[in-house]
Amino acid sequence: MRTYSFFLIPLTLLVFMADAAFAQSEADERTAGTQPSADHTDTYRQLDLFGDVFERVRAQYVEEKADKELIENAINGMLTALDPHSSYLDDEKFDEMQVSTRGEFGGLGIEVTLENGVVKVVSPIDDTPAFRAGVLAGDYIVQIDDEPVMGLTLSEAVDKMRGKVGTEIDLVISREGADAPIEMTLVRDIIKIHSVRHRVEGNSGYIRITTFNQNAEDGVKKAIQEIKAELGNKLNGYVLDLRNNPGGLLDQAIAVSDIFLDKGEIVSTRGRHEEDTKRDNATPGDLAEGLPIVVLINGGSASASEIVSGALQDHRRGILLGTQSFGKGSVQTVIPLPGHGAMRLTTARYYTPSGRSIQAKGIEPDIIVEPAKIETYDIKRLREANLKGALDKKDEDVKDKDDSSAKDGDEAEEEEIQDYQLMRALDLLNGLTLYRGSPSQAANDNAAPETPDSESSAEQSAQP
């Protein structure tokens, strides 16, 4: 029997139980006339190795470390080695995660992942210290408070960016196209997320979802109601802005998709075993009443944002405009460990209704529109009315129009840079309305098309 120090009761118990199970398995196999499984033998040899290393670190490491710290680090190392999204959450981190899904937490306000050993920004959250400081999706955080990020785990890097509200943190960021690293100082703050915002743009409704927390579904429903009340029959459609939305709760992504879909599959999650496959379908009722929808996405749109985008695109319920999404198509299950926090484990992948995998591929927009800076040029052009002796010429009209043109040019220079992608989305809605007629007629013409039921969707998804 293997022996360990008396204070390693949990580890000793684990090995003892493993030995007992192995002995029983060995006895069963011998009774059946077979030799013990080589896989079983190798597994328990590896457990021996873990115990030996643990003992050696406890006894000889240059600084004394608590047993709890060593074991938790070992567990976290096992999980983080699986993929960038699996990890161990101690009690404090588990509490923080639960708070963040409720829409309020402390920090800088950025969603990050680990890429090639460096922390990459998935997206900044609106109206947070990171957003106001100019952090952009796709930035690489290479240094935190004078300490290089290379070599740190994602959890370690996130821990360094968290801290007491009101304290400063220095970041060095590498940005594609920048001549040199960008240095910035941010002040940590309480991050209060208003997950849904809306406004009226001309005859269109604009709805922005910043994150899919537990308030997302109710926020979108409220936005639609208020936009309808303000525009009435003039409403020609909606712009659903999911740019730089890092994702959030799966059930909220499904619920938001269901708001705009009348039937059909929304998303399927497929795990390691066939019986783990789960399909979520829309329920009757389209709150947008068939009006056109333009969905804005970009490289910061991840996870839950990609579920919504993929569902609306596959059902031809919305036109996707912008740039390719992030490609985070895996499902993380948070498994509480009573008395020891929780573990976040990747358990499945997301698939769109047509069977497309989102993981590492993302969603391609129907219309690619890169971000652009809009500038107005005041170009003087000769018109018919400027020609001497032109028919129906009125000097005062020409003078007024010239003055008006000059004035417009001056005002344009003073305007803030406009959102080019949003402008193109609004143009698209206006164009659809002009092509199809009045907004009310467009709603009828744009009713959700026939979509495959869940059974036929399953058949399509099963195809290679």
Q: Which sequence spans correspond to the domains of the chain?
A: 9-65, 104-192, 196-370+451-461, 384-414
Question: Do residues 138 and 122 make contact, with C-beta atoms less than 8 angstroms apart?
Answer: no
The reply to whether CATH 2.30.42.10 applies to domain 104-192 is: yes
Mean pLDDT of 320-330: 96
Q: Residue 439: which pLDDT band, with cuts at 50, 70 and 90? A: low
pTM for this entry: 0.70
Mean pLDDT of 141-154: 89
Token pair, residue 346, equals 């990747």
- Which residue reads 């926020």 in tokens? 219
Catalytic residue among 314, 325, 330, 461: 314
Nearest to 267 by CA among 153, 352, 203: 352
Q: In terms of pLDDT, which residue wins out, 228 or 398?
A: 228
Question: Do residues 332 and 347 make contact, with C-beta atoms less than 8 angstroms apart?
Answer: yes
Mean pLDDT of 374-381: 76
N-to-C CA span, the chain:
50
- Segment among 293-307, 336-350, 375-389 with least mean pLDDT: 375-389
CA torsion sign, 123 to 196 to 358 to 299? negative
Q: In terms of pLDDT, which residue wins out, 458 or 81?
A: 81
Q: Residue 38: which pLDDT band, with cuts at 50, 70 and 90? A: low
Q: Residue 386: which pLDDT band, with cuts at 50, 70 and 90? A: confident
Mean pLDDT of the chain: 82
Q: Does residue 258 have an active-site annotation?
A: no
Percent residues over pLDDT 90 in the chain? 57
Catalytic residue among 328, 330, 457, 461: 328
> Looking at the predicted structure, is the pLDDT value of residue 79 above 50?
yes
Question: Do residues 230 and 262 make contact, with C-beta atoms less than 8 angstroms apart?
Answer: no
Nearest to 358 by CA among 326, 313, 323, 318: 326
* pLDDT score recorded for residue 99: 67
- Segment among 162-176, 248-262, 299-313 with least mean pLDDT: 162-176
CA torsion sign, 207 to 213 to 219 to 220? positive
Token pair, residue 25, equals 């398995």
Catalytic residue among 268, 301, 303, 309: 303
Percent residues over pLDDT 70 in the chain? 79
d(CA 228, CA 287): 10
The reply to whether CATH 2.40.50.100 applies to domain 196-370+451-461 is: no
- Segment among 197-211, 363-377, 435-449 with least mean pLDDT: 435-449
Q: Residue 440: which pLDDT band, with cuts at 50, 70 and 90? A: low
- Segment among 37-41, 176-180, 219-223 with least mean pLDDT: 37-41
* pLDDT score recorded for residue 464: 34
> Looking at the predicted structure, is the pLDDT value of residue 407 above 90?
no
* pLDDT score recorded for residue 36: 54
Q: Report DSSP letters for 289-341, one per residue.
A: TT--EEEEE-TT--THHHHHHHHHHHTTSSEEEES------EEEEEEE-TTS-
DSSP state of 450: P
Q: Residue 100: which pLDDT band, with cuts at 50, 70 and 90? A: low
Q: Residue 449: which pLDDT band, with cuts at 50, 70 and 90? A: very low
d(CA 416, CA 319): 27
Q: Residue 397: which pLDDT band, with cuts at 50, 70 and 90? A: low
Q: Does residue 388 have an active-site annotation?
A: no
Q: Does residue 301 have an active-site annotation?
A: no
Q: Would residue 185 be called left, alpha or beta, if left means φ above 0 and alpha means ψ between -120 and 50 degrees?
A: beta
Q: In terms of pLDDT, which residue wins out, 145 or 127?
A: 145
